[in-house]
Amino acid sequence: MLDKPESLWPVKQPYDAFLVLDVEATCQEGTDFNWPNEIIEWPVCLLRWRHKDAEGRAKELYIADEFRSFVKPTWRPQLTAFCTSLTGISQAEVDRAPKFPKVLEAFKEFLTRNGLIDGTTGQKLQRFTWCTDGPFDVRDFVVKQCFISKIPMPEWLRGDILDVRKAVMYSLALQEANASGGRQQNFFLPKPGMPYPKRRSLNISQQLRVLSLPAFIGRQHSGIDDTRNIARIVTELATRGIRLEPNTTIYPGRRWQWMGRPGQILEEYCFT
C-alpha cells in the first residue's frame, strides 16, 4: 500500500465529467472474451467536479447522478446458472427488462437531462469521458452488443476511454519513482498507444487496497456496486493529483469470428 501524496495545487483537468461504467453480461463457464456475450446490466455513475477554477484546476469529484437498467438478452435469453451465480442477476429481472436499444434510449435521456449531450443531435455539450475497469466493457461488451442489436454505436459512446485499472498502475509507478528520490515527475497519464509500466494487473478490490481505501462496498460482480467502487477509485486518483483523461483506444468496428451479417451470430464458432 502507498500513502497518499500531498498535492499543494490541483492539476488542470481537461474533462468536466466522467461516466463510470461496469456492465454485466451473459456468460457461460469455460468461455472467454471471444464469446458473444450480451449485456444484461447497464449501470453508470456520473462524476463531476465539486470545485473547478477558471483555469480548469480541480481535485474533488462527487457522484452527481446514477443510471441503472437491467437488459433483456435476445440471442441466449436464458441465463446460465453460472451467470446468475456470478452476477446475482435473476432470470426474472432480465425477462422484464427492456432490450438494449431501449436501454440506450433511456440512457440518452439521462445524458440529456444532465446537460452532457444535445437530446436532438446527440452532440456533446460538455467534455466527458467514459471510465471502466480495464478496456473490456466498451472494447468487448458494448461493441458486441451493438452488433447483436444491429445498431451503430452512438457518437456519445465512441472515442477513447479512461482505463482506470491502467491509471492506477501508472499512478503507483510514478509515486514509487518519486518516493525513491529521483526527479519529481508529473502525474499525467500516457496518451492512448503510449507505453505503460509493466505491473501485475489488479482487480477492483486490490486497487482499493493499494490506494489505502476502505474495502469493496457491496456485492462483487454486481454492475452497480462495481461501478460505485470504481467511482471511488477515480475520485481518489483525482485527489492524488492525477490528470484524468483517456488512455485507451476503442475500435467500434472490431469483429469476432462468430460475426456474420449485422445481428447474425454464427453458431458454429461459439463452441457452446
| pLDDT per residue as tens digits for the range 28-80 | 999 988 999 999 999 999 999 999 998 999 999 999 999 999 999 999 999 99
User: Which stretches in the chain have pLDDT values below 70?
Assistant: 1-9, 178-191, 193-200, 272
Burial 84-93 (b: 16+ CB within 10 A, else e): eebbbbeeeb
pLDDT value of residue 193:
64
What does CATH list as the number for 17-269?
Answer: 3.30.420.10
C-alpha cell at 141: 461488451
pLDDT value of residue 187:
57
pLDDT value of residue 270:
86
DSSP 3-state of 155: helix
Q: Where are the domains of the chain?
A: 17-269
Q: Which helix (H) or strand (E) element contains residue 66? A: strand 61-70
C-alpha cell at 199: 505491473
pLDDT value of residue 24:
98
DSSP 3-state of 48: strand
Q: What is the pLDDT of residues 7-27, one digit of tens each?
A: 556 899 999 999 999 999 999
Cβ proximity of 127 and 16 under 8 Å: yes
The pTM of the full predicted model, rounded to 2 decimals, is 0.92
pLDDT value of residue 185:
52
Instruction: Report d(CA 80, CA 224) in Å as an integer.
Output: 20
